Structure 1
Amino acid sequence: MHTLKRTSWAIALGLLPALVIYIGIAVVPIGMSFYYSLVDWDGLSDVRFVGLDNFTDILSDPVFWNAVKNNLIMMATGLAGQLPLGLLLALALNRAMRGIQFFRTVGFLPVVISAVIVSLIWSKMYGVESGLINQFLGLIGLDAWKQNWLGSTTWAMLSLSVTYIWQNCGLYMVIYLAALQNIPSEINESAMMDGATGWKRVLLITIPMIRPTIWVTVVFAISNSFRVFDLIYVMTAGGPAHNTEVMTIYMYINTFTNIQFGYGSAVSVLILIFSLIVIYGANKLTGSREADGERR
C-alpha cells in the first residue's frame, strides 16, 4: 500500500509541470475569453459590462453565418477529401518495395511545411497571369478555362479546399499507415486464401479492422476545420467579399482590425461551443456505430 501511494505521488509530481503549463496556456485563456465576451472593451478605455449583447450582435450578423457556412465547407472538405485520400495513400504505401520510405516521406512532407509557405506556393500556382494552373490551361489550348481562382466568388472556396486537402492528407496517411501495419499478417493471409483479394479484401477486412482509427481521424478532421486560419488568411484574407471568411478570420478581423476585444472574445466562445457540439455529435455517432458493430 505504501509503495502504491509513493508511486501515485511520483506520477502526480511528474505530471504537475505539464498540468501547470496546460492550465496557463489553455484553461486560463478560455476563462478570460468567457469574461471578456460579456464586456465592451477596445483595450484602452474602461471595461463596460454589456452582458449577452456581443452574442446577440454576432448571431444577427449575416457575415458571421457566412463564416459558419465556410467552416462547414472546410469540414466537409476534410471528411470527404483528406480522409479518403489519406486512406488511399496509406493503402498504396503499405507494402514492401524499393524506395518506399522516400514515397512515405514525400507524402507526409506537406504536413511539416509551414502553412504560410504552403499558402504562398499555392497562391503563385493560382496566379492569374503567371500562375502554373492558368499557364498549363493555355498550353493545352484551354484559354477559356482560365480563371482568377482566388479572386472569384465562384472558385475561391474550391481553390482553398484543394490546397487544404493537399496540406493535411499526409497526416491521415501516416495515421492510417500505422493502423494498417498493426493488422496481423495472418488475417490478410487467411483472407487471400479465402479468395478475398484487391478491393474486396480492403472493404471486407482492412477497413473493418481499422474502423476505430477512422473514427478518431473523423474527430481530428472536424476539430482541424474549426481551427483553420493561416492558410486562408495568407491566400485570400477572407475575400473576395467575405466569400472565404471562416470564423477564426471573422474573430481576428473584429478583434485586431476593428479593435473590439469583447466582441472578438464572444466569437471565440462561439467557435468553442460550435466545435464541442459537432465533435460531441461525431463521438455519439461513432460510439453508436461501434456498439452496433459489437452487437453484430
Structure 2
Amino acid sequence: MHALKRAGWTAFFGMLPAMVIYIGIALVPIGMSFYYSFFNWDGLSPMKFTGLDNYVMTLKDGIFWKGVSNNIFMMVTGIFGQLPVGLLFALLLNRSLRGIKAYRSVLFMPVVISAVIVSIIWGMVFKIESGLLNGMLDLIGLDAWRQDWLGSPKFGMLSVSITYIWQNYGFFMVIFLAGLQNIPEEIKEAAVMDGATGWKHFWYVTLPMLKETIWVTLIFAISNSFRVFDLIYVMTGGGPAHNTEVMTIYMYNSAFQNMSFGNGSAVSMLILLFSLIAIYAAKLLTQRNR
C-alpha cells in the first residue's frame, strides 16, 4: 500500500511541472480572454463592463459570418485535402527501400518551414504579373485563363487552400505512417493468404486498422482550420473585400486595429466554441460509423 502511494506521489510530482506550464500558457489565457470579453477596453482607458454586448455585436456582423464560412471551407479543405494526401504519401513511403528516410524528410519539409516563408513562396506562384502559374498558362497557350488568383473573389480562397494543403500534408503523413507501422505483420500476412491484395487489402485491412489514427488526424484537421492565421494574413490580409478573411484575422483586426480588446476576446471565445462543436460533431459521426 505504501509503495503504491509513493508511486502515486512520484507520478504526481513528475507531472506537476508540465501541468503548471499547461495551466500557465493555455488555461490562464483562456480564462483571461473570457473575463475580458465582458468589458469594453482599449488597453489604456479603464475597463467598462458591457455584459454580452461584445458577443451580440460580433454575431450581428456579416463580416464575422463571412469568416465563419471561410473557416468551414478551410476545415473541409483540411479533412478532404490534407488527410487523403497525407495518407497517400504514407502508403507510398511505408516500405523498406534505400533512401526512403530521405524521401520522408523531403516530403515533411513544408511542415517545418515558417508559414511566412510558405506564404511568400506561394504568393510568387499565384502572382498576377510574374507568377509561376500564369507563366505556365502562357507557355501552354492558355493565356486567357490568367487570373489575379489571390485578388479574385472567386479564386482567392481556392488559392489559399492549395497552399494550406501543401503546408500541412506532411504532418498528417507522419501520423498515418506511424499508424501503418503499428499494424501487426500477422494481420497483413493473414490477409494476403486470404487473397486480399491491392485495393482490397487497403479497404478491408489497412483502413479499418487506421480508424483510431484517422480520428486523431480528424481532430487535428478541425482544430488547425480554426487556428489558421499567418498563412492567410501574409498572402491576402483577408482581402479582397474580406473574401479570404477567417475568424482569427477578424479577431486580430478587432483587437489590434480597432483597439477593442473586449471584442477581440469575445471573438476568441466564439472560435473556441465553434471548434469544440465541430470536434464533437465529428466524434458523433465517427462513433456512429464504428
Structure 1 length normalisation: TM-score?
Answer: 0.96
Which residue pairs with 1:293 in the alignment? none
Deviation of 1:286 (Å): 1.9
Distance in 1, matches of 2:3 and 2:103, equals 49
Which residue pairs with 2:68 in the alignment? 68
Equivalent position amino acid for 2:111 in 1: V
Distance in 2, matches of 1:187 and 1:262, equals 55
Distance in 1, matches of 2:270 and 2:96, equals 47
Q: How does 1:1-296 map to 2 (within 5 A)?
A: 1-290=1-290
Distance in 2, matches of 1:159 and 1:133, equals 11
Unaligned runs of 5+ in 2: none
Which residue pairs with 1:294 in the alignment? none
Write out per-residue CA displacement over residues 158-180 of structure 1, whole angstroms, 9 at most, x where no aligned residue: 00000000111111111111111
Equivalent position amino acid for 2:67 in 1: A
Q: State the superposition RMSD in angstroms.
A: 1.0
% identical equivalent positions: 66
Structure 2 length normalisation: TM-score?
Answer: 0.98
Write out per-residue CA displacement over residues 107-146 of structure 1, whole angstroms, 9 at most, x where no aligned residue: 1111111111111110111111111111111111111111
Deviation of 1:147 (Å): 0.8
Deviation of 1:99 (Å): 1.7
Distance in 1, matches of 2:48 and 2:253, equals 21
Deviation of 1:228 (Å): 0.4
Write out per-residue CA displacement over residues 17-56 of structure 1, whole angstroms, 9 at most, x where no aligned residue: 1111111111111111111100101111111111001111
Deviates more, 1:19-28 or 1:157-166: 19-28
Equivalent position amino acid for 2:136 in 1: F
Deviation of 1:181 (Å): 1.0
Q: Which runs of 4+ in 1 moved over 3 A?
A: none
Equivalent position amino acid for 1:261 in 2: F
Deviation of 1:193 (Å): 2.2
Equivalent position amino acid for 1:153 in 2: P
Unaligned runs of 5+ in 1: 291-296
Distance in 2, matches of 1:199 and 1:213, equals 19
Distance in 2, matches of 1:190 and 1:17, equals 46
Aligned residues: 290
Distance in 1, matches of 2:187 and 2:12, equals 41
Distance in 2, matches of 1:166 and 1:266, equals 31
Deviation of 1:98 (Å): 2.2
Distance in 1, matches of 2:256 and 2:115, equals 21
